[in-house]
């Protein structure tokens, strides 16, 4: 029903834009509520009053809030995000973001796909075998990993690898000689550095998706029409694939949509523990350094990523089941 679909998209896009705008504004106001005099953060030891005044002017921190807000909006839409003030003093943010963004996209992108695929597979497997030992085993496993603090697993993994492997790298998104490798070498270098953080990241998401898939699938499998399907003489595999899963997908997709935010959030902890130079890591050092322009931009990127992810998930939901209410 293209007409319906078009209306759905339009409505969703409208919401998307509205939420984006709200996020931008929220972002702005959040970072203006900071303690103390922000100008002081810019000025290292040794400047006198006159210099402080001149710098406040230079960074534009003393203009009325409305003017600051408008400048902020204008800058955001033209891609000028200002300058970092303490982490990389004087460096413009849009220059410095790109490599971090790329690193995070790799980690979170692969992590999301992997955790969805593997999580759904394992959840499907254990739902199908519910009540058996395998199911019990899986469920206990999943619950423990779901409830384990992310950083803990990452740290334990790091410690074990550091202790038992003679040369597996334990820090960074790529090695020191990265620049001198050819394409294949670069790929291999990145792989070696990304494997551990990826593993730590997906373990928890896999557990979550498995649990959701399992419970959603179990819901469906115990419905009346499943008995009908069996009675019709359909093969088990067909039942699973063509009857049970599509109906179970709805809540799973909804959960995945809500969980994209979690994956993006959780990546910070992994990145910090493994010193993996991604957006989360940058956000962390920006927070430690009270580098508000930088924090503002990263936070906005993350929020936008979550919204876009939700939007994509909503579209998929609609295509799966047009009855879904907007």
Partner 1 sequence: MIRPFVEKMKARLLAANVSSSRREKIKLLLKETRKIWKRYKRNPNGMVGLFIVVFFVVMALFAPLIATFSEPAALKWADVNPAYAPPSLEFLFGTDFYGRDVFSLTVFGSRPSLIVGILASLISMILGTAVGLVAGYLGKMTDEILMRITDFFLVLPWFPLMIVFASLMGPSFTNIIIIIGITSWPWTTRIIRAEVLSVKEKPFIERARGIGAGNTRIIFRHIFPNVFPLVAANTVFLVANSIFSESFLDFFGLSDPSMVSWGTMLEQAYAKGAFSSFAWWYILAPSACIILLVVAFFLIGEALDEVLNPKLRKR
Partner 2 sequence: MDVDRRSTSPIRAKELERLPTIWRVLKSWTRICTSGSLPMRSVRRSIPVLVVIFFLMSEFPLRPVTVIDGEGETSLRYAVIENVDSLNPFVGWNDISYVFWCLVYDSLISLDEDMKPKPNLALSWNIVPDELPVGSVWQYNLTHNAKWHDGEPFTAEDVVFTFDYQIGLNWSHMWAFQPYTLLVDYVEALDEYTVRIHFQDLEGNPAACSIGDTEYLYIVPKHLWIGLSSMDAAFSYTNPWPIGTGPFMCTANTYDEYLAGDHLILLRNPDYHGTLDYGQEVKFDRLILDFYTEPTAIVSDIERGAIDVAAINAPNYANFMDWLNANPTDDIVTYAGLSCTGYSIDIAVCMKENSGVGTNNIRLDPAVRQAMAHATNKQFIRDHIYRGYADIGSTILSPVFPYWYWAPSPSQDYEYDLSKASEILETAGYRDLNGDGIREATEASLSVKNKWTQPGTPLKFGVVVEAELYEDRDTVLYLKDEWKKIGIEINPIVVNLALWASIVDSGNYDLEMTYWSGDPDPNYLLYVQSSYAIGGWSENRYSSEEYDENYTKHVLALDPEERREYVYNCQELAYRDAAYIVTVYPYNCFAWREDHFTGWGNWSAHPGRAINHFWTANDLFFDLVPTGATRTNTLAAGLFILVVAGVVVVAAFLLPRRKRGSEDEETILRR
Site for partner 1 in 200-259 (CB under 8 A): 218-219, 222, 258
The interface partner of residue 144, options being partner 2, partner 1, none and the CB cut-off 5 to 8 Å by kind, is: partner 1
Under the binding rule (CB under 8 A), the answer on residue 94 touching partner 1 is no
Q: Per the structure block, which two tokens stand in for 312?
A: 């994509």
Under the binding rule (CB under 8 A), the answer on residue 46 touching partner 2 is yes
Tell me which of 10, 14, 18, 53 binds partner 1, using CB under 8 A.
18
Tell me which of 55, 245, 258, 316 binds partner 2, using CB under 8 A.
55
Query: Helix, strand or coil for residue 157?
Result: helix
Buried b (16+ CB within 10 A) or exposed e, 67-93: eebeebeebbeeeebbbbbbbbeeeeb
DSSP assignment of 85-96 equals SSSSTT-BHHHH
The answer to whether the CB of 4 falls within 8 A of the CB of 322 is yes
Under the binding rule (CB under 8 A), the answer on residue 230 touching partner 2 is yes
Angle at alpha carbon of residue 219, lines to 217 and 220, rounded to 5°: 65
Total residues contacting partner 2 by CB under 8 A comes to 87
The answer to whether the CB of 81 falls within 8 A of the CB of 94 is yes
Taking CB under 8 A as the binding criterion, the range among 11-19, 73-81, 177-185, 247-255 that sits at the site for partner 2 is 177-185
The distance of closest approach from Cβ of residue 268 to partner 1 in the complex, given in angstroms and rounded to an integer, is 6
Q: What is the DSSP letter of 191?
A: H
Q: What are phi and psi of 92, to 5 degrees?
A: -75, 140
- Report the DSSP beta bridge partners of residue 92: 83
Under the binding rule (CB under 8 A), the answer on residue 156 touching partner 2 is no
Under the binding rule (CB under 8 A), the answer on residue 133 touching partner 1 is no
The DSSP H or E segment spanning 219 is helix 183-221
Under the binding rule (CB under 8 A), the answer on residue 175 touching partner 2 is yes
The distance of closest approach from Cβ of residue 110 to partner 1 in the complex, given in angstroms and rounded to an integer, is 19
The distance of closest approach from Cβ of residue 59 to partner 1 in the complex, given in angstroms and rounded to an integer, is 19
- Cα–Cα dist 322/135, whole Å: 33
Under the binding rule (CB under 8 A), the answer on residue 265 touching partner 1 is yes
Q: What is the DSSP letter of 22?
A: H
The answer to whether the CB of 172 falls within 8 A of the CB of 277 is yes
Tell me which of 201, 269, 282, 313 binds partner 1, using CB under 8 A.
269
The interface partner of residue 324, options being partner 2, partner 1, none and the CB cut-off 5 to 8 Å by kind, is: none
Site string for partner 2, 5-34 (x = CB under 8 A): ------------------------------
Tell me which of 143, 188, 227, 326 binds partner 1, using CB under 8 A.
143
**Alpha carbon distances (Å) from 251 to 211, 220, 257, 320:** 12, 11, 10, 11
The distance of closest approach from Cβ of residue 198 to partner 1 in the complex, given in angstroms and rounded to an integer, is 18
The DSSP H or E segment spanning 213 is helix 183-221
Binding interface with partner 1 (CB under 8 A): 15, 18-19, 22-23, 26, 30, 33-35, 143-144, 146-152, 155-156, 158-159, 162-163, 218-219, 222, 258, 261-262, 264-266, 268-269, 272, 280, 283-284, 287-288, 290, 295, 298-299, 302-303, 305-307, 310
């Amino acid at each position: 029903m293209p007409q319906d679909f078009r209306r759905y998209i339009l409505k969703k896009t409208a919401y998307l834009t509205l939420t984006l705008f709200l996020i931008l504004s929220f972002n702005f106001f959040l970072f203006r509520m900071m303690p103390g005099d922000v100008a002081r953060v810019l000025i290292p030891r040794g400047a006198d009053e006159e210099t402080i005044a001149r710098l406040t002017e230079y960074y534009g921190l003393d203009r009325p809030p409305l003017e600051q807000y408008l400048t902020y909006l204008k800058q955001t839409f033209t891609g000028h995000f200002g300058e970092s003030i303490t982490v990389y003093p004087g460096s413009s943010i849009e220059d410095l973001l790109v490599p971090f963004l790329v690193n995070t996209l790799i980690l979170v992108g692969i992590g999301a796909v992997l955790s969805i695929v593997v999580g759904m597979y394992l959840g499907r497997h254990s739902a199908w075998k519910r009540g058996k030992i395998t199911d019990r085993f899986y469920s206990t496993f999943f619950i423990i990993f779901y409830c384990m603090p992310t950083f803990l697993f990452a740290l334990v993994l790091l410690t074990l690898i550091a202790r038992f492997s003679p040369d597996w790298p334990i820090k960074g998104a790529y090695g020191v000689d990265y620049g001198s490798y050819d394409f294949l070498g670069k790929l291999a270098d990145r792989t070696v550095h990304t494997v551990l953080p990826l593993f730590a990241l997906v373990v928890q998401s896999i557990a979550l998706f498995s649990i959701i898939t399992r419970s959603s699938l179990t819901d469906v499998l115990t419905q009346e029409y499943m008995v009908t399907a069996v009675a019709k003489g359909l093969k088990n595999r067909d039942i699973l694939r063509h009857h049970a899963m599509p109906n179970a997908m709805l809540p799973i997709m909804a959960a995945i949509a809500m969980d994209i935010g979690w994956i993006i959030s959780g990546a910070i902890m992994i990145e910090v523990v493994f010193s993996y130079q991604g957006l989360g890591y940058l956000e962390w050092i920006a927070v430690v350094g009270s580098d508000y322009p930088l924090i503002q931009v990263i936070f906005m990127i993350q929020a936008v990523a979550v919204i876009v992810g939700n939007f994509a998930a909503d579209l998929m939901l609609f295509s799966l089941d047009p009855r879904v209410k907007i």
